[in-house]
Structure 1
Amino acid sequence: MSTPRVTWIMPVLNGMPFLPTALESLRQQTFQDHQVYVWDNGSTDGTLDVLREWIPSRIPGKVFVGEPLSLGMSLKRLLEEAPSSLIARMDADDICLPHRLATQVAHLEQHPELAVIGSERISIDLQDREIPLRSVFPPDYFDILHATLRAPRVLHPSVLMRRDKVLEIGGYQDLSTPDSPYWCEDYDLWLRILSKHKVEALPEPLIRYRYNPDSLTETEMRLNRSANAKRRAWLMNCKAFAGIDSASVAGRLWDRRLFFSMPVILGIARHFQSRDGLKVSERLKMPSFVRIAQSYLRREDLISRIWLRGLSRKITTTNNE
């Protein structure tokens, strides 16, 4: 048999009661050249029974059991095991719209310069009811790049990725420690991918994304460990991603403790120009870059604040003309 074009990778730990609906949404895809690889991380709620009912009899694929891992390490192993040229992410409690794969595969075919394509989402609660979006994910490469200076701004479960490009930058990582047990594997991945490749997201919602107050991400956000993990990922990738050689400078910038931030911000703009060709003068006119630059400024950094405020006014005036 030939290798499927796409492999879904899905780590799972106690995926019930949402797992059957998630799997059904994969089975209903209009693009059928795909399989699913699932890594079970020690489920005790009947997840394995459901997976054995579905895979491979209803959906081609493979279930990995008996070696529970962290989220980042299970993603790493799934990526390495998957033979397909394209890798789609999926969580066990989300629902893909039927045309998700067809739309994203077509977009990557039309845009060979892209390593990853994501999408917007429809937010749902535990009862499948739609809820207001917390925020909107930027679709444009430049806006994604700039937003990634502060946080992951690609919806991880929505992406379709070129496997070779992800492996080229080292794949998934989990650099958690006993003192810092949570690792922001998606932010770390986007920082490294965007250091070498372009990423976009479709403004069209292609996934029903479930907000679960008891999920790992939501729990870590409440405990503030998510913020600490993002900062660690930023410090580990600040040189390749933003051109900041000093982790001390990068940390103080992140914490808004630099006495004068503009030289570092201009250095980031020059570093980005060396990679994507957009001139510093043009980047400084982009609202997404100015907004993130402003988020780095300490209150006492009046010179930088005045300088960026002037840029913001110019942008507003230009947009209103």
Structure 2
Amino acid sequence: MSEPLIDVVVPVFNGAKTIRAAIESIQTQTLNRIRILIVDDGSTDDTRHLLTEMAAGDGRLQIIHQPKGGIVSALNAGLVHCCAEFVARHDADDVSYPQRFEHQLGYMREHPECLGVSGAARQIDEHGRFLGKVIRLPSPDAADGKWLPAREPYLMHPFLMARTSALRVVGGYRYVVHSEDADLCWRMQEHGHLHNMDAVLGEYRMHSGSISGSSVSNGRTQALGTQLAAISALRRRAGKTDLTFPKEAVERYRAAASLTEIFKLGCHGLTRSEIEHLETALAAKLLELTDYRPYELELADCRFIRRALAKRMHTANAKNRDELTHLTLRAAARLFRKGLLKEASAVVPTSQYPSAAARLAKRFASGRIDLKTIAGFDWVCRTTKW
């Protein structure tokens, strides 16, 4: 086999249900000068057997077995073995379309200043059925670490292609829990250009077993990680000492039982102004995540969000304030619809009750909620002290 142009890094843990489809989508790429590095992160299901079977029929597959160490450990283990000019990422439950690598490599060749490129993806469910949505991300050039929550220079990571040299320069992945991908994008952007293509490159699987979508606890952790990654970027770009992300902190974050607890953990090593910013950014990010993730805010989350936004929302510019107000009202309307009246009224500041009531009226007119729900919300708002 000739030297590969692209090393494809595929981390997997207990991916027996989807790994074959994922690998076959890589094997059938129109650009076939590739090597597929699959890092089995201590799987206990049938993954190991399936990988052995697939590798026996394709010399481009190289299997790396390691004890379970988590996604960051698995990704860095894969990067150690990369020697091609380009590295492509792929998850064990997603599917790439045949011309994905050809499209991305063509763009990278035409734009030598570009260090990383991704693109759009169709959302599918755990059975492979199209969910009716194509994910398209904004340009990384619009990134703003001071926005609430931070606007990230994000590239959809399961469809990332990057220059191997750039990944080496930034030192690979750090232990920014549930946000190692966003952190990598911030650091890569400091050395060159990042780009999201309009082309649909594959299918992104949404299912209950995914780490980022499985619980509000993981949502809190992800919200913290993304905002700490942004603060870290702001520090570097101001010539200040960077934050560190020790591996041992990961379990402390995961064990946190509330948004307040995880916020306190995240404050370690921050300045007073960074702590004040983090509180509001963390609240805003969890609001944003629950707008499209399958989990929901709990009452304590709603109270934290309301207090945090009341403290510092006024420091944001008018456009940012409008976005936060919109997110808050959407959250309240969603909670109303689910019958979570205390949570709905807890997340909405008193000044926004008229706007929330207007949204309720629209939903009543369309038949999406009943008068009992509206009456219940009114009673909760009048009788509960937050």
Give the structure 1 partner of residue 279 of structure 2.
255
Alpha-carbon spacing, 1:220–1:84, altered in 2? closer, same or farther (3 Å):
farther
Secondary structure in structure 1 of the residue aligned to 2:133? coil
Secondary structure in structure 2 of the residue aligned to 1:300? helix
- The CA distance in 1 between the partners of 2:199 and 2:12, in whole Å, is 26
Letter of the 1:103 counterpart: H
After TM superposition, the score normalised by the length of structure 1 is 0.73
- The CA distance in 2 between the partners of 1:166 and 1:306, in whole Å, is 35
Give the structure 2 partner of residue 111 of structure 1.
111
Secondary structure in structure 2 of the residue aligned to 1:219? coil
Letter of the 1:62 counterpart: Q
User: Is 1:186 matched up with 2:210?
Assistant: no
After TM superposition, the score normalised by the length of structure 2 is 0.62
Alpha-carbon spacing, 1:104–1:184, altered in 2? closer, same or farther (3 Å):
same
Which has the larger displacement, 108-117 or 142-151?
142-151
User: Is 1:209 matched up with 2:204?
Assistant: yes
Higher relative contact order (CA 8 A, sep 6+): 1
- The CA distance in 1 between the partners of 2:67 and 2:6, in whole Å, is 24
Q: Is the 8 A contact 1:7 1:83 kept in 2?
A: yes
Alpha-carbon spacing, 1:93–1:212, altered in 2? closer, same or farther (3 Å):
same
Q: Any unmatched runs of 5+ in structure 2?
A: 242-269, 282-308, 323-386
Secondary structure in structure 2 of the residue aligned to 1:154? coil
Alpha-carbon deviation of 1:15? 0.6
TM-align CA RMSD: 2.9
Alpha-carbon spacing, 1:85–1:221, altered in 2? closer, same or farther (3 Å):
farther
Q: Is the 8 A contact 2:122 2:135 kept in 1?
A: no
Letter of the 1:163 counterpart: T
Give the structure 2 partner of residue 168 of structure 1.
169
- The CA distance in 2 between the partners of 1:8 and 1:108, in whole Å, is 16
Letter of the 2:171 counterpart: G
Q: Is the 8 A contact 1:6 1:85 kept in 2?
A: yes
- The CA distance in 1 between the partners of 2:13 and 2:131, in whole Å, is 25
Which has the larger displacement, 115-124 or 213-222?
213-222
Letter of the 1:89 counterpart: R
Where does 1:1-321 land on structure 2 (aligned, <5 Å)?
2-55=2-55, 57-58=57-58, 60-133=60-133, 136-138=136-138, 140-143=139-142, 149-151=150-152, 153-174=154-175, 182-219=177-214, 221-223=216-218, 224-241=220-237, 247-256=271-280, 298-301=312-315, 304-305=317-318
Q: Is the 8 A contact 2:143 2:151 kept in 1?
A: no
- The CA distance in 1 between the partners of 2:207 and 2:80, in whole Å, is 29
Alpha-carbon deviation of 1:243? 6.5
- The CA distance in 2 between the partners of 1:131 and 1:219, in whole Å, is 18
More helix by share: 2
Letter of the 1:132 counterpart: G
Q: Is the 8 A contact 2:6 2:84 kept in 1?
A: yes
Alpha-carbon deviation of 1:299? 3.5
4+ aligned runs moved over 6 Å, structure 1: 145-148, 242-246, 306-309
Which has the larger displacement, 152-161 or 125-134?
125-134
Aligned residues, how many? 264
- The CA distance in 1 between the partners of 2:319 and 2:93, in whole Å, is 46
Alpha-carbon deviation of 1:129? 0.8
Which has the larger displacement, 157-166 or 128-137?
128-137
Secondary structure in structure 2 of the residue aligned to 1:167? helix
Letter of the 1:187 counterpart: A
Secondary structure in structure 2 of the residue aligned to 1:212? coil
Q: Is the 8 A contact 2:117 2:197 kept in 1?
A: yes
Secondary structure in structure 1 of the residue aligned to 2:122? strand
- The CA distance in 2 between the partners of 1:159 and 1:54, in whole Å, is 23
Which has the larger displacement, 82-91 or 142-151?
142-151
- The CA distance in 1 between the partners of 2:272 and 2:56, in whole Å, is 50
Alpha-carbon deviation of 1:127? 1.2
Secondary structure in structure 1 of the residue aligned to 2:50? helix
Q: Any unmatched runs of 5+ in structure 1?
A: 176-181, 258-294, 310-321
